[in-house]
């Protein structure tokens, strides 16, 4: 929208066409990255560093490593970040349903 405003198209018109309210746009323009997003990025970085050093650890041990590095967080937060980024322990449980897929049907 900045580019459209630079070309002379008013922000109000652009927001109306895109069906956006002006106030949230200006709020986002003032601070495009929120404090919560920055905090989560630091937490994810600490968890990733711990996972890279010890890939056999699950999220509970990773959160302890992150706390030692100075990034405090709840275990649920660590689980959410690890789960969304697919940072699993290398000793995880085998996937369910694989043995069903490998079975061969009996011919009749």
What does the pLDDT look like over 27-82, one tens digit per residue?
Answer: 888 888 989 999 999 999 999 999 998 888 888 999 999 999 999 999 999 999 99
H helices of 1-103, in order, are 2-6, 11-18, 22-30, 35-53, 59-68, 75-85, 98-102
Q: How confident is the model at residue 4 (pLDDT cuts 50, 70, 90)?
A: low
Q: Is residue 18 part of a domain?
A: yes
| More confident: 85 or 91 | 85
In a domain, 25, yes or no: yes
Which residue's structure tokens are 């937490």? 43
58 lies in some domain: yes
Looking at the domain assignment, is residue 23 inside a domain?
Answer: yes
What span, in angstroms and rounded, lies between the C-alpha atoms of 85 and 53? 16
Tally of domains within the chain: 2
Whether 102 is in a domain gets the answer no
CA distance 76 to 82: 10
**Whether residue 49 sits in one domain with residue 10:** no
Both 27 and 42 in one domain: the answer is no
Q: Is the same domain home to 24 and 58?
A: no
CB contact at 8 A, 57 and 51: yes
Same domain, 40 and 81: yes
The whole domain housing 25 covers: 1-32
Q: What is the DSSP letter of 108?
A: -
- 41 and 79 share one domain: yes
106 band by pLDDT with thresholds 50, 70 and 90 = low
Residue 106 domain-assigned (yes or no): no
């Amino acid at each position: 929208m900045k580019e459209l405003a630079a070309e002379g198209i008013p922000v109000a018109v652009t927001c109306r066409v895109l069906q956006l309210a002006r106030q949230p746009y200006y709020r986002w323009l003032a601070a495009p990255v929120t404090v919560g997003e920055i905090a989560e990025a630091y937490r994810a970085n600490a968890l990733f560093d711990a996972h890279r050093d010890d890939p056999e650890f699950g999220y509970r041990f990773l959160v302890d490593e992150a706390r030692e590095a100075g990034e405090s967080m709840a275990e649920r937060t660590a689980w959410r970040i690890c789960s969304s980024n697919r940072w699993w322990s290398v000793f995880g449980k085998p996937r369910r349903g694989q043995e069903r897929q490998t079975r061969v049907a009996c011919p009749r």
